[in-house]
Every structure is written in structure tokens, then in C-alpha cells.
Structure 1
Amino acid sequence: MATATQPNSPEKKDDTVEAPGTPAASGNVVIPDTNAAVALPTHSPAAAVDPDDLVDTQKTPTLMEKVQEFRARHEMWEMALFFFGGFIYDVVSLSRIDDTLTLVQSFAYLLILTGLLLLEQRFPEGTEPPRLLSKVWRWREEAVHFLFGSLLSVFMLLLFKATSGFTPYLFVVGLFALLVANELPRFRQVGPVIRVVLLSLCVTLYFACLLPVVIGRMGFWVFLLAVTLGSANVFGLMRLIQRWRPDVEFLIRNVAIPGFGVQAALLVLYLLGVIPPLPVAVQFADIYHKVERVSPGVYQLSSVDDSVWFKPWTWFGPDFAMQPGDKPYYFFRIFAPKGFAPYKVRVRWYYDHPDKGWTTYGNGFMANVSSNGTDGGYRYYATTSNLKPGAWRVVLETEDGHEIHRINFSVAPDARTEPRQYKLEYSTLKELKPLSQEDYEKTRKSAAVKPGEPSKPTGGTTPAPAPTPGSVGTEPGETAPTAEGTAQ
């Protein structure tokens, strides 16, 4: 078979086009591979290239992607927002320790936190989250820290109301430190250890608030029961996590040691008096020159102010100006939940002796307190007649020695010879803080006018008589003190 070819034409046509400036190949000359060849479309050498095809295009970000990018840029501000958001929410909404809504809400938070902790172990990072939570799973980190911050702030505020002195405040400061650490990325990266610590702490503190309200008593065995329930919660976590991670070393290191370690630490701190007693709390307390019950449910509180407004050097004088025969009165009102069993508190008087330091007088005065369930609590007072110039301190504590409240005051002789001018205040059942004499007179006049009747004109009428000092009466829900507290 014969094959016809065109004269002077190569047997194979080269479709490549050399780059400009490249010499043509001839003979056996090897062309250096220094210049890159430009490939053009083979379907049509003369086809035009769309300039838009040479520009890289990017996908338009969605709204959720923009939100995630914004969160990544402002991560520290986001942590601060969740931190202060949970804290401020509880400051505004926190009610009494026996408030049903507060107890139910805190219990719901604990259930959600326990569930999230278990789900994180069931679906660790990198695995597909549960289908029902797939849309909100990305927010679990923020939810965990918000709930922990909210619970810790509740317990910190309740303990703050129930404590006084330096040692118990250490525990409150420790809770605040955990609130801050709860928002730091370094603690987030530790893993379940910190979360088990926080959950174990919150569960025990919750039962330490709940059990006294339910049982109506406080004491060591009540707190021990709260620690037992907290330990049972840690044991339950271990059993559930063991189903998905049967690693004994992991369970001991990440669950058992931090969880049971918190319970042991809480028990020791309670025995040392660092954890304040719950649920009692002092609503108000101060030192006065005289305390008299002037009418049913009303105490008249008298004090002497030794400072003069136009003499600045007297503004920071002694808290108690003493004349012969004066006795300091420690007046306080203490709160306990409704239905709480009668309990005892002890009032101790301390004097800063120049040679011996702080010394106490006797065993203190033991007061029997009943709970009337009102917001104002139960009012009582104690006094001592062994007064000396110098620094003094009054400490109110439970029967087993846990401090509830303390107040420091200074005593100095009153050198004035003119008659004393007493500042009068009145403590009523409904008002936490004493009323001034002017405000108290207004409340008495408004109470004298019956609902639906017009008020009587004041002009030309005799003013209502002032309360008679020394009169004693009782008010429903509160009884008069049986005796004054003396610490001879």
C-alpha cells in the first residue's frame, strides 16, 4: 500500500506554540528549558479568553459564618459578657434562700450541667454530635460557663449574706476566683477535671442550702448529709461515664480525684469554720446607747453622735461616747426560713486589752431565737456593763461556734457637760433598717387614717403622743426578749 504525503511537510504536526523570544528548533540543537510555554485552548487557536475567567472568585459568607468570625475576633469580650451576664442576672433576681423558684431554677441548672458533661464524654471533640442537638451543639461551651457562673454567683451571694469576719470571707473570695477561672481559656483546655470540680462543688452547696430549709434545722450533721449527696453525684458520674470510656485510669484521674477531693475539702473547711452557716443571716446590726421597746413590734434605738459638722477633726471620733453608767447595746435582726425550728445564737464581747490583746468576757450571752419567716427576721439585743475606753468587738455566732456576724467599735470618754442630744431611730417589723424619727412619725400618721376615710386636718389639732419609753408589748410572729445579754 502506498501512502501519499505532502512534499516538504513533516510526518507529525506539532500543535504547541512556542513562547515569544524562543528560537526555533533546528537540527539537533537542544533548547534550554528556561522559559515556560503558554498553553492555549486546542479547540480554536483564535478563540478569545474571558477576563473574568482569570480572576479567582470567593464564596459569599453566610450570616452564621460572619457571626462565628466576629466571635473569634472578640473572644475575650464574649467571655466577659457571659460571665457578668450570669452574675448580674442573679444579683437582680436572687431572692430569699427559701424561695421556691430559686431552688427549682438552681436544680434545673444542675441537671442541665450534668447532662452536658455526660454528653461531652459520650460525643468527644471530632465526633458527630447527637442529632437533636446538632443545631445548638456549637453553643454548649457558652451554656456550660453561663450556668456555672450563675450557680456560683448564687451561692456566693447567699454565703456573703450569712458570713462575717476574715476567715469565712476567704471561702467567698475562693468562689469568686472560681468564677473568674471559669472564663479563662486555659482552664477550658484542661478538660473535664475543672468541670467535675465545679459540678461537685455546686451540687454540695445546693444541698447545703436546700436541706436546712426542708428539714428546718442546721448543724454539722445537716452539712454532712449535703456532702454525702454530693459524693453520691460524683459516684453516679463515674458509673455513667464508664459505659462509654471503660478506662479506669481516666476515671480516677479526671472524675474520682477532683470530685471526691472537693467533698473532702468542703468537710474540712466547715469544721474549721471557714464555710459560714446556712440558712441564717443577719439582716441588720449596730451599736446603740439605749434600746427600748416602746410599742408592740417597735424598738426605739438611741445613739449619741459626738461629731460636729463644722469641725472636721471630730468626724472620725469614737463610735461610742461613754459617760458614767453607759452600756453599749448590740441590736440585731436575724433571718431564718419559715418553719425553721427555734435555735440558739451566742453574743460574745471582746476587748482589745493593751497587754493581753483581744480578750473575751465569760462565755457570752446565749439567746433563744425563733423564726417568724418574715423578710425582716427576728430582732434581739444584748448588752454589757463592763465598759472601758478602747477598741471593742461584738461577735454573733451559732451554738456550735460558727460566726454569723461581727462589728467593731471604739469607746472614748465623753467630756461634754451639756445635756446629751440623742439621735432616735425606730425599728419596725416590716422595715429592715431603722427609720428616722421623722419617717416613723409619718408612718404612724398614715396608719392612723383608716382606708376609705379622708385624713383629718392637722391644723388646730393635738399631735399624736410619742411612744412611751419602757412600755413592752408583743407582736404576732415576734416575742419580746426574755433578758438582756450580759457578759460579766
Structure 2
Amino acid sequence: MSVEPPQDLVPKAGDAPAQFGVFIEQPNGISQSGGVSPIAKLQSVLAKPFMPAVFFLCGVGYDSLTLSRIDRLVDNLVLLLYLLLLGALIVLTGRLGIESPPEREQLLSGPKFTRWVWESRPYYPMASQFLLGGLFSAYAIFYSQSATFTKTAVFFALLIVLLVTNEFLRDRLSNLRILVGLYAVVSFAFFTFFVPVITGFMNTVIFLLGALLSLGVTLYLVQQVYRNNPDQSGRQPVKVMAPAIVLIAMLVGFYFLNWIPPVPLSLKHGGIYHEIKRTGDQFELVFEKQWYQFWKRADTTFPTDEPVYCFTAVFAPVDLNTTIYHHWHYRSNDTKPFMHADRIPIKISGGREGGYRAYSLKQRLDPGDWRIDVETEDGRVIGRVEVTVATKTEAQPRLVSVTY
């Protein structure tokens, strides 16, 4: 997330001393003692062309280390605060853009807060960029935990594109239509996972409720921009709001196309096993492993005449109870498409850090490729487990076990 000062605030030779700035700088950044002032040095460093990339990587790295669980109250309150601050900035940007600036004498004699609002105006795009970067970075982390290399990756890819594009948008973040459109997207991404977290339910009605909240908040934002301003045409708010409405409608379409990851659910572990035993609070998972396969944690090939266990651990927020499905697909060889074989429902409860553990069992699978999609009730893929079933060899398998 870039933190780069506006270029028009960097003093130049011959400039008059600042009238209302936070600091008063001598020409060329030379302090009264004859040396370069600390502020001028800081501005010089921040103006380096590589600094946006540095701040971007630092911001994403910080979020990766600090954002732990999607249902963590502190994290969600921080994101909500970012949304509120961004909304306030958009209202200020819009209102100052349609109002005539006050005279200098009027500004000096007026309230200090009003003077501060006008003086800070050059920094609004920078602050908006920072808040948008923080939101997109957090969303990218949360949605990556639920996205798979299936259709659900489409919305996650959109978030990544917006996260990167935000680093180059500063000069455009005074455009009210762009700001309102981006606000609609970040609100939608927030309510998509926040409403299920606070209600404990996850279905189409809850999703549409989140979409309506996003639309309502964005409409309220535009209303505040044009409130008590008779000089503006009634068409102007509609023109500003139109891109946001189109974006929210498009994202709702993404949901029905199964292009949005099933947040707040995420697959913590999944694999195929020869046998599963429960001992106390632990599951013992038995699979075939050679001595040199130190990386292996589950079976990737399986004999035809043995029962097959598909084990999964799915994280869900506290108090969220829902049904997931182990959707078994089969193809006889890689030249044919996968076909539906079975869809087994499993009720899960949220709250466990490592995910709710469950398994499904199939007997004597046909030789070929098998794929088990872990799905929500509406068919969105949380994760995927794959195995190849082949004729049993004479060699005795070396079985080991792990606990989960």
C-alpha cells in the first residue's frame, strides 16, 4: 500500500512559505541551520519509484501475518473501521468537489475543523488508496483460503487484480464514480463473509442480504454527497451510482455462476485413506507410504478391492452450522470427462481451529480417476481430493498412520 506524498506539496526553489500547511519549509528543503531538514529527507525517500512496491509488499506481508481467522472479532472490526473511514473520505471528496472553495480570509476566520478539511484535501487520494489497499489485501487473504482452481477462483482473481491496480490509481481517486464503484466492491466482499459469521447461517438468502446491505450502504454514501445541494441536477447522483449498481448486479451473477469462493468456509485438510480410526479427540488416518516419500500425507493411488475413505477437515466460524457434501466423480481414463457418481451430505459445526472433521466411505471403486469435490449446499467447491484407482499388485503395501 503506497504512502507517497503528493508532488505538489514538495517545496520547490522560489516557493513562498506555506500558508496553512503542517510544516513551513525553507526553499529547496534547506533548514535554517543550513542542512537538509528531516521532512525533506523523508519526502525524498518516499518519492523513489520503487517505494510503492515496497509498501505494497510490506502491507500484504503484514496482513498475512496478522489476519488469522475470518471470524476473529478484532480483524472484522478493523475492516469495518476501514470501510467507515473510506466512506467518510468519499463523502468529503464528493462534497468538496461540487462546492466552491471558500475565500482565504473566510477560511482563516472560520472553524479550525473546516480549515483542516480543506487543507487536507490533497491527501484524500493517498488516504483512499491506503484504505482500499488494506481492504483488498485482507480480502485476498481471506478469499484465498476458500478459493480452489475451479470456477470459484474468478472472484478471487478479481480481488487480486484490484489489489495490484490500486497501486496505480492514485491520480484517479478523485473521480467520484470510480470511488463509489470501488466502495461497492469492497462493501460487497465484506458483507459476503461477515453476514454468515454474525448470523450463523450460510445460504442464498443470507448472501442476497449481504448484497442488499452493500447496495444500501453505497446508496446512502451517494445521498450524503449530494445532500442539501440544490445546485446539482437530480441526474448527477444517478450517474455516479450507476456503475456501482452494475458492479453489484454483476457480482450477484458471479454467485449464481458459482464464481465466488464459499467464504467463510475453507478446507483445512483433505485426503484418501485405507482406514480411519477415532481415538478420543483424534482421528488416526492410515495410508500407504514408502520410506523415501517424506512429503506424503495421504494416498494418491488405491487398489480396486478395498474400501476407500475420503477424510476432510472444513473450517467454519463459531456458531455456524451447515451441511457440506462429498461429491464423488469418476472417469475411466483421462480422455473422458468426469461424471457424477455420488453426493454424500455431511453436517458440520463451526469453531474448531483445525476444521470440522468428517469422512465418507465407498466400497470397491472401478479402476480410473476419482475426484471428490467438497461442496456447499449451493454447489460451490470448498476443496478437492483426487485419487487414481488401479488393479491391486502382489506387493504388500507399507502402511503408516498420522493423527489429525
TM-score normalized by structure 2? 0.80
1:336 has 2:322 as partner: no
* Contact kept in structure 1, 2:301 and 2:387, CA below 8 Å: no
Whether the 8 Å CA contact 1:321–1:414 is kept in 2: the answer is no
Distance between the aligned counterparts of 1:324 and 1:203, measured in 2?
A: 50
CA shift for structure 1 position 211: 1.2
Q: Distance in 1 between matches of 2:50 and 2:130?
A: 14
* Contact residue 309 and residue 362 of structure 2 kept, 8 A: yes
Assess, with a 3 A threshold, how the Cα gap between structure 1 residues 60 and 161 changes in structure 2: closer, same or farther: closer
AA matched with 1:93:
T
SS of residue in 2 equivalent to 1:166: coil
Q: Is the 8 A contact 2:305 2:392 kept in 1?
A: no
CA RMSD of aligned residues (A): 2.9
Which structure is higher in RCO with an 8 Å CA cutoff and minimum separation 6? 2
Q: 1:148 aligns to what?
A: 132
Answering whether residue 306 of structure 2 is matched by residue 352 of structure 1, we say: no
Q: CA deviation at 1:173?
A: 0.9
Distance 1:338 1:189 in 2: 38
Any idea what the Cα deviations from partners look like across 1:420-451, whole Å, max 9, x if unmatched?
Answer: 32121111xxxxxxxxxxxxxxxxxxxxxxxx
Q: Cα distance 1:60–1:177, how it changes in 2: closer, same or farther (>3 A)?
A: closer
Quick check: 1:218 aligned with 2:197?
no
Tell which structure's C-alpha radius of gyration is larger.
1
Cα separation, partners in 2 of 1:277 and 1:199, compared to 1, 3 Å: same
Q: Secondary structure at the match of 1:124?
A: helix
Query: Which letter does structure 2 place at the counterpart of 1:120?
Result: T
1:80 paired with 2:53, answer yes
Query: What's the CA shift for 1:147?
Result: 1.2
1:285 is aligned, of 270, 277, 287, to: 270
**Change over 3 Å in CA distance of 1:356–1:85 after alignment to 2:** closer
Name structure 1 gaps, 5 residues minimum.
1-55, 310-314, 428-488
Tell me what 1:268 maps to: 253
Q: Check whether the contact 1:116–1:144 (CA below 8 A) recurs between aligned residues.
A: yes
2:116 aligned residue (111, 132, 136): 132
1:247 to 212, 224, 233: 233
| Secondary structure of 2:371's aligned partner | strand
Task: Give, as a single letter, the amino acid of the residue that structure 2 aligns with 1:284.
Answer: H
**Residue aligning to 1:28:** none
Describe how 1:6-405 pairs up with structure 2 within 5 A. Answer: 59-62=27-30, 63=37, 64-65=39-40, 67-68=42-43, 70-72=45-47, 74=48, 76-124=49-97, 127=101, 130-133=114-117, 137-185=121-169, 188=172, 191-243=175-227, 244=229, 246-253=232-239, 255-293=240-278, 295-305=279-289, 320-323=300-303, 325-340=305-320, 342-354=321-333, 356-362=336-342, 364-371=343-350, 373-405=351-383
1:365 Cα shift? Answer: 0.9
CA distance in 1, matches of 2:175, 2:156: 25
Work out the CA distance in 1 between the residues paired with 2:45 and 2:121.
Answer: 18
| Contact persistence 1:86–1:147 (CA under 8 A) | no
Q: 1:415 aligns with which of 393, 396, 399?
A: 393
> How far off is 1:257 after superposition?
1.4
Percentage identity across paired residues of the two chains: 27
SS of residue matched to 1:158: helix
Q: Aligned equivalents of 1:242 and 1:136: distance in 2?
A: 21
**1:320 and 1:69, CA in 2 relative to 1: closer, same or farther beyond 3 A?**
closer
Letter in 1 for 2:331: D
TM-score (norm 1): 0.67
Tell me the distance in 1 between the aligned counterparts of 2:78 and 2:91: 20
Residues matched between the structures, number: 357
Per-residue deviation at 1:321?
4.0
Match for 1:112: what amino acid? L
Deviation of the 1:124 alpha carbon: 3.4
